[in-house]
Structure 1
Amino acid sequence: MNSALYEKDYYLWLQETADLLEKGKVSELDIENLLAESQGMFRTQRQALKSNLRVLLLYLLKWKYRANKRSKSWRSSMIEPRKQIRDSFEDSPSLKNYYREIFSLSYQDARELATAETNLEIETFSINSLFTEEEVLDAEYFPDENIGSDASDRHEVFYD
């Protein structure tokens, strides 16, 4: 396949690439651009997971440390990233390993964001995550609302 097609008509390039793969005509593939696309999709999946985790941790921190400012919109702001992460795990179970890898760094990023959004000193927010990897993904978990409940008693957890 002509690699110029990739630059000229991306959609047509995708169609022809899929057609060549379906027919097993590997030698005719535009390998360079196919590799670039594959690597881009890989990065996109990881970036989306990291972004959703960071946002979710930010709202969990705000929920915990700004109890007097809690609102329905904050609660609903935690639903979407949880769903996005769950969907990512359903589509790509191996992303669970990446989730474990980035959890601590994402928490540190969320501390910085929480400082900027709340005007509280960064030292206000515990340096170590107050939330477990499982709690963060638990659809029913909201800090300080689950006192005395066991994570295994709560509803759906998206992480195994």
Structure 2
Amino acid sequence: MTAQVPQSQTTSGSDLYEQDFYLWIQTTAELLKQKNFTQLDLDNLIEEIETMGRSEKRALESNLEVLLMHLLKYQIQTQRRSKSWQYTILEHRRRVQKALQESPSLKPYFDQVFDESYQTARRLAVIETGLDIAIFPEKSPFTPEQALDPDFLPE
């Protein structure tokens, strides 16, 4: 017995996409399971798949920025080091590592945005600490490998 497509027969795929996104997802999944490719809302499906890829990249970059900011704060503000900072370093390092394990093809992107992410992390550290930007090195004092190393904490 074949499962029914949840979509109303009177609603086109693109209309459903605009009216009820979750129902559109369920309908699209069911159409794919049934190999009913002719009724797929291809334009929106393609857009959603591309968006998913961009989303993965943004999440990786965001976690890298937070990781680098906390590594910087840990290195510069030795008197303020806390378990909370260590936790944040561990958590965001884990998120980056998990993203790279689940999608190894993101590794070149990680390498590509590392320096840019460091610059963002540097500016974020200035805001969080109130310290002058000149205190934070212009180039990352951490290598990409150190940033991902679960045993690395700056001296």
The TM-score normalised by the length of structure 1 is: 0.85
- Deviation, 1:137, is 0.8
Determine the structure 1 residue equivalent to 2:76. Answer: 65
Aligned to 2:130: 119
Structure 1 residue aligned with 2:27: 16
Any stretches of 5+ residues in structure 2 without a counterpart?
1-11
Q: Find out whether 1:7 has 2:51 as its counterpart.
A: no
Q: 2:110 aligns with which of 99, 107, 129?
A: 99
RMSD: 1.2
**Aligned 1:45-84 pairs, distance under 5 A:** 45-84=56-95
For 1:111 and 1:21, the matched residues in 2 are separated by 45
For the pair shown, the structure with the greater C-alpha radius of gyration is 2
Aligned partner letter, 1:56? L
Per-residue Cα deviation, 1:58-107 (whole angstroms, up to 9, x for no partner)? 00000000001101111111111111112111221111111001000000
Partners of 2:77 and 2:20 in 1: CA distance: 50
Deviation at 1:25, TM superposition (A): 2.3
| SS of residue paired to 2:13 | coil
Report how far residue 15 of structure 1 moved. 1.5
The AA in structure 1 aligned to 2:125 is A
Match of 1:31 in 2: 42
Q: How far apart, in 1, do the equivalents of 2:75 and 2:114 lie?
A: 18
* Bigger shift: residues 126-135 or 114-123: 114-123
Tell which deviates more after alignment, 97-106 or 7-16.
Answer: 7-16
Distance 1:104 1:51 in 2: 13
For 2:74, the aligned partner's letter is W
The percent of aligned pairs where both chains have the same amino acid is: 44
Counterparts of 1:8 and 1:87 in 2: how far apart (Å)? 34
Number of residue-to-residue matches in the alignment: 144
Distance apart, 1:26 and its partner CA: 2.0
Q: 1:43 aligns with which of 35, 54, 72?
A: 54
Distance 2:26 2:129 in 1: 48
Whole-angstrom CA distance in 2 between matches of 1:30 and 1:99: 33
Separation in 2 of the partners of 1:86 and 1:24? 35
